[in-house]
Amino acid sequence: MIDYGSVVYGSARPYLKRLDYVQHQARRLCLGAFRTSRIPSLYAEAFEPSLSCRRDKLFLYYFRILSKDNHPLRGTLLNGNNNRLFNARPSCIPHFGPRARILFSWVPSYVGIAGNELADKSAKSATEFLTRPTVYADVRSAVNQWCHCQWQEKWNMETNNKLHVIKPVLSHWVTKLNRRCDVVLTRLRIGLARLTHKYLLSAESPPTCSHCGDILTVKRILTDCVAVNRRRLRYFRSSSFDLSFLLGQIPHFNLFMYLKDIGVFHDI
């Protein structure tokens, strides 16, 4: 509904932002994440792209449908009865009048410059007719791949994101856990837990570790605090590892037992 009904809001960013708030809240509820969780982390953990990316994909699908003469939806999309709906929109750009004349002219580039001549050659190659027919299933696959690459490029810039350290490559991680364990795992991956970040909602000072006095974080609970090294050795057979070892695509099978043993499972 948010995807296909977004055209009602037009193309202005302030109006489309209203839909983003709805999606963000839905992601938090589904994942069990806190309100202060970073938006890119919600997308990556749920493996659901943003509405902007999804709209780009719909636009590309639309052009794919129009390029296929026998597509079942072609007649619906090109229905002349829809003109009155577009004409009623204040932001609609009117069509050119019958006496309007458009002239396309090609301006030659600078002759003798290797880069410009190479660009001209590449541009002219697009005018050649391809005898091999286009497989429309390949077009759909190419659209999906392009949208995913755009999303991955944005995610690559989230170098300071806690989840990026655990999940640098966007993919669908399937977990067969109950709701409570799934929420705990999500919060640990994102790096925001009730025990460590509740102070943001109550305007208090950040909590500190009762053993060393440092600021309490998810990383300190899982890997850094020396007071629970013996328990790490018992459950993980090691006291030196990174977060991806515990919270990766397949979480460690003793993770939740460790959290219960140190008494923080219900505070995550």
pLDDT band with cut points at 50, 70 and 90 for residue 108: low
pLDDT top residue among 115 and 251: 251
Number of domains in the chain: 2
> Is residue 122's pLDDT more than 90?
no
8 A C-beta contact, residue 192 and residue 33: yes
Nearest 10 degrees: Cα torsion 42, 48, 51, 55: 160
Is 12 in the same domain as 141?
yes
Distance between CA 185 and CA 266 in Å, rounded?
12
| Cα 172 versus chain centre, distance | 11
What's the pLDDT at 165?
93
Is residue 108 left, alpha or beta, with left meaning phi > 0 and alpha meaning psi from -120 to 50? beta
Q: Are residues 215 and 99 in the same domain?
A: no
- Give pLDDT, residue 198: 86
Tell me how far CA of residue 208 lies from CA of 45, 187, 226, 267, in angstroms.
Answer: 27, 19, 14, 15
Tokens of 209: 């570790």
Q: Is 8 exposed, middle or buried (0-12, 13-18, 19+ CB in 10 A)?
A: exposed
**From 48-57, 159-168, 188-197, the region with the lowest mean pLDDT:** 48-57
150 with 24, same domain?
A: yes
Q: Are 41 and 75 members of one domain?
A: yes
67-72 mean pLDDT: 71
Residues 6+ apart with CB under 8 A from 46: 27, 30, 31
pLDDT at 248: 94
Q: Is 45 helix (H, G, I), strand (E, B) or coil?
A: helix
Closest to 150 measured CA to CA, from 56, 15, 257:
56
Closest CA to 252 of 266, 232, 227, 268: 232
- Of 52, 44, 48, 45, the closest CA to residue 20 belongs to 52
> Which of 103, 133, 162 is the last residue in one of the domains?
162
Domain end, chosen from 162, 191, 208, is at: 162
DSSP state of 192: -
Backbone angles phi, psi at 36, to 5 degrees: -85, 5
Q: Is residue 167 part of a domain?
A: no
Mean pLDDT of the chain: 82
Whether 139 is covered by a domain: the verdict is yes
Pair (19, 69) in one structural domain:
yes
pLDDT of 117 strictly over 80: no
Question: Could you say which of 130, 162, 194 is where a domain stops?
Answer: 162
Q: Name the more confident of 33 and 5.
A: 33
**Does residue 168 lie in a domain region?**
no
Look at residue 267 and tell me if it is in a domain. no
Q: Are 74 and 66 in contact (CB under 8 A)?
A: yes
Q: Which of 151, 192, 149, 144 is nearest to 44 (CA)?
A: 151
**Who has greater pLDDT, 2 or 20?**
20
Q: Which domain holds residue 207?
A: 179-262
Sign of the dihedral defined by the CA atoms of residues 65, 58, 169, 184, in that order: negative
Q: How far is CA 191 from the centre of its chain?
A: 18
Residue whose pair of structure tokens reads 């301006």 in the numeric block: 107
| 21-40 per-position pLDDT tens digit | 888 999 999 999 998 899 99
170 pLDDT band (50/70/90 cuts)?
A: very high
Top-confidence residue, 66 or 17: 17
Per the domain annotation, does 144 fall within a domain?
yes
1 part of a folded domain: no
* 138 and 247, same domain (yes or no): no
User: Which has the higher per-residue pLDDT, 248 or 12?
Assistant: 248
Residue 184 banded pLDDT, cuts 50, 70, 90: very high
234 and 146 assigned to the same domain = no
Q: Are residues 158 and 30 in the same domain?
A: yes
Q: What is the pLDDT of residue 87?
A: 64
* Higher per-residue confidence, 178 vs 71: 178
Average pLDDT over residues 76-98: 60
Find which of 74-83, 146-155, 207-216 is predicted with most confidence, using mean pLDDT: 146-155
Residue 216 lies in a domain: yes
Same domain, 21 and 138: yes
The pLDDT, as a whole number, for residue 233 is: 92
Q: What percent of the chain has pLDDT over 90?
A: 41
> Do 24 and 96 lie in a common domain?
yes
For residue range 51-60, list pLDDT tens digits in order: 888 888 887 8
State whether 19 and 149 are in the same domain.
Answer: yes
Query: Is residue 196 domain-shared with residue 106, that is, in the same domain?
Result: no
DSSP 221: I
Per-residue pLDDT of 199-240, as tens digits, reads: 888 878 888 888 878 899 999 999 988 889 999 999 999 878
Question: What is the reported pLDDT for 178?
Answer: 94
